[in-house]
Chains A and B, each alone.
Chain A
Amino acid sequence: MNRREFLHLLTVASASGMALPTEIARAEASAEAFYDAPAFGNVSFLHITDCHAQLKPIWFREPNVNLGVGSMKGQAPHVVGEAFLRHFGLPAGGREAHAFTFLDYEKAARVYGRVGGFAHLATLVKRVRATRPGALLLDGGDTWQGSGTALWTKGQDMVDAAKLLGVDIMTLHWECTHGQDRVKEIAEKDFAGHVEIVAQNIKTTDFGDPVFEPYTLREVNGIKVAVVGQAFPYTPIANPRYMVSEWTFGIQEENMQKTVDEARAKGAQAVVVLSHNGMDVDLKMASRVTGIDAILGGHTHDGMPKPTIVTNPSGRTLVTNAGSNSKFLGVLDFDVRGGKVADFRYRLLPVFAELLKPDAEMDALITKIRAPYEAKLAEKLAVSEGLLYRRGNFNGSFDQLILDALIAEKNAEISFSPGFRWGTTILAGEAITMENLLDQTAITYPHVTLTPMTGAQIKEVLEDVCDNLFNTDPYYQQGGDMVRVGGMTWSCDPTAAMGKRIDDMRLKGVPLEASKTYKVAGWAPVSEAARDAGGEPVWDLVARHLRSKKTIAPPKLDLPTLKNMDGNPGTAL
């Protein structure tokens, strides 16, 4: 924090009666010690995942609703707030509590500053690598999507940034929404000799041939290690299938076992899976597939300060999840002795921009990338009077803004917005810029739709998506959040069976009729027909709405009434 910001903060604090000197003191004192991560063992992996193309430091609020049902109730990652701190044994009120939870979010954000940013991340990577020669940097994917520049450059900005950061190995999810040809082009041209894409579960739809190498064998300090790739299994379902029409995905558990066995047979003394399964799927896979030392996971954006240790028929597997938005760097150290992993250390280091000097070379690249687009990104569309964020199982205040804009601009009765988990945060009083809006909406299928739907169809959609979130078998989950619903009230029992979770759907207090038709606005359709209909990009619609409003009052969240969730450690309302 520089002095001007510090003084400004003092002014703000005294004006708002905020109690802060102890927190400021703690922030300053801990700056040096914070990144002191002593080296351990002889094989290290650095792990980033789901950065969603965030090159600059941002605000990011962790969720206050991340429910687990069935055997997942109260288990990592389904703990939030105070329950999260208790689960991981973290002290309340400090820098780490701020990094990992939503508690006192706005107040703490103003104390500890922005998080992430590739220039700051690059400094941290160099710092950690300096004490860990030969360490491999793994990228779990969702790197080429999530910002205006990633959309406009077809991921080229992130490809260049990942190469400069020194990524060694990566796997895929949202990358695929640039289309299979673009992914292959980057793999074969830009990444050749730099970054290897691995995925044991991407095969051709015709004969089931592998599209990428399933794993890579590397030697670290004279020790053979294998990194197996696991791309997001449900890419052609959660995202448009037409973008990867020649590829098939799936969890492919049998092939995972075969791949791990093959890597072991070729002499790998440590095997890690770089996974985009999502944490619940990783936990189940770790209990069934043997011979994996660690699954470095992503997709569900769960910043987990400690790994979950899963036992399986042949030993134990660590399962980690490294959050999102370039907010964290995972550091896994193995002590490999006698041909196997004898001991480990793991840390998930939060990237606090104010504690890390930006790396000059990365900073220059980011400036160059952004230069042609700066003016467009900087446009102030409106000022937000409240905190705007996305994460949460059922809604976020930025999603509410999108829902309200869809209803107003399309003259709809009900609106839907996808339960994406990416998207940054805006503090109260800040301007909403075009860049902020694109952080929430920049996808390659952004079309707005207006669809007449019967009450029965609306229920069917909600039930279908809800089962993707709350199926008690993780292999049937897709890892996003619930579709956000505007204009309508409803109730949800996450513990009920498929088809029985959604109830009491009402429009302005009147129950929806199964056979009556309602006007429903939405965006991000996955069908080719919807793409061909050519609806306007959602950011144009929301930008128009924001410009006309100028000031946005804190949105009132449309949330379902939850049933059977009292006392669930995955909710703090």
Chain B
Amino acid sequence: MTSQPLNRRGFLTRVAALGLTTALGTTLAPHLARAEWNKAAFDGKSTADAMKALGASGTADSADVQILASDIAENGAVVPVQAVSKVPGTTRIAILVDKNPSTLAALFDVGPDMVADVTTRIKMGQTSNVTVLVEAGGKYFTATKEIKVTLGGCGG
């Protein structure tokens, strides 16, 4: 290694030193505050249950919906999952973990000026299909990927 790229933590430290963090914070906060808790959806015990509570019907797999995640989770307690929708007019993105006790792991409301690209960390107790559900113009689109949760050890 001859040079180290400027990492984000270093950048944020510098930004904070310049007093800019408040400005960054306020642009994001209102969107988060507006989201309402959809209890029925979050109580769903299966992908079918949760989809029903979200009002999703006639769902179809779409190449315009992407789920980006590791094939094998490094740590089941915090599994990074990125959901990207290229469907025009996307208003909601949900992440569903089929085998979790409560299937719906996250629900994002997407405003008209937002890029439909969200990343979060979810908890998984066991290997499961994970589905990204996108709502756009009253229609529903999905992408599914299996994420494996393993005991570890024994490699190489």
Q: Which residues of A contact B (CB under 8 A)?
A: 142, 173-174, 187-188, 191-193, 196-197, 204, 206-207, 209-210, 212-213, 232-239, 241, 248-251, 254, 299, 418-422, 460-461, 464-465, 467-468, 473, 475-476, 478-481, 483, 498, 524-526
Contacts and interface: CB of A to CB of B under 8 A. Distances in A.
B1 A237 contact: no
A196 B8 contact: no
A205 B66 CA distance: 21
Given A207-B9, A464-B150, A254 B74 contact: no
19 contacts: A142-B156, A197-B1, A206-B8, A213-B1, A237-B73, A237-B150, A238-B152, A238-B155, A239-B156, A241-B152, A250-B70, A250-B74, A464-B150, A465-B154, A480-B154, A481-B154, A498-B127, A524-B153, A526-B153
A421 B75 CA distance: 24
B75 to A, nearest CB: 6
A478 B1 contact: no
A238 B1 contact: no
Given A232-B156, A238-B153, A483-B153, 6 more contacts: A142-B156, A209-B9, A251-B71, A422-B156, A465-B153, A476-B71
Contacts of B73: 237
B5 interface: yes
B9 A239 contact: no
A478 B72 contact: yes
Q: Is the interface of A mostly helix, strand, loop or mixed?
A: loop
Contacts of B7: 204, 207, 209
B25 to A, nearest CB: 16
Contacts of B74: 234, 236-237, 241, 248-250
B92 interface: no
Contact count band on B: 20 to 34
B150 A206 contact: no
Interface string B73-87: 111000010000000
B86 to A, nearest CB: 14
Nearest to A278: B156
Nearest to A141: B156
A237 B152 CA distance: 5
Contacts of A173: 156
A468 B75 contact: no
B8 A236 contact: no
A251 B70 contact: yes
A250 B141 CA distance: 26
A480 to B, nearest CB: 4
Interface centre among A209, A213, A420, A422 (most CB of B within 10 A): A209
Given A234-B72, A237-B74, A241-B74, A418 B154 contact: yes
B114 interface: no
Contact of B151 (A233, A420, A464, A480): A464
